[in-house]
Amino acid sequence: MVQVNMMISIDPGITTGLVIAKFSSMTDIKPVVAIDSRDISVIIDTVNSYIETHGAEVIIVEDFVGSGFRSKDTKATIELLGFVKSYYGIIMEQLVVVQQPQFRKHCYNESKTILSKHKINKVHHAKDAFAHLIAYCIKEHGYEKKYDLPS
């Protein structure tokens, strides 16, 4: 029997990208949910619903890297990052993995192609979140990219 792992990935900001995907082998990652939302309650409700019904192996969230002036987007990113780490990591006792933004870059084309194959196209921030999820699967599960074509 093939083990299926539900994984959640979040690209925080004023517009937050969310991807929930099933990872069932080194060659199969299937996005189940991919959304961009400016309403954080939509993101939280969706994550909570999937954790309640399916559980999650991991919640991956993009880290904030920077100093100096804090724009609205920077503040939104820092606040959501803190929420995910404290609520899901401490209160819900979920594994939360924080990844640097550059960690996803080599997986962006793979992300874009897989989402497109599943007819998920108009989700810029979710593509970033999915690239983080793919990078995690490469590192932790030996996932092998299939669609890594130059942009």
Domain assignment present for 20: yes
**What whole-number distance in Å separates Cα of residue 150 and Cα of residue 1?**
35
Over the chain (151 residues), what is each successive 10-residue block's mean pLDDT? 76 95 82 95 96 93 80 86 94 94 89 90 91 92 73 47
Domain assignment present for 149: no
Domain assignment present for 70: yes
Domain assignment present for 41: yes
Model confidence pLDDT, tens digit, residues 12-44: 999 999 999 998 776 788 999 999 999 999 999
Domain assignment present for 134: yes
Extract the tokens encoding 37: 């939302």
CATH of the domain at 102: 3.30.420.10
Q: What is the pTM of this model?
A: 0.89
Domain assignment present for 15: yes
Residue 38 belongs to domain spanning: 5-141
**What whole-number distance in Å separates Cα of residue 120 and Cα of residue 127?**
9
Domain assignment present for 55: yes
Report how many domains make up the chain. Answer: 1
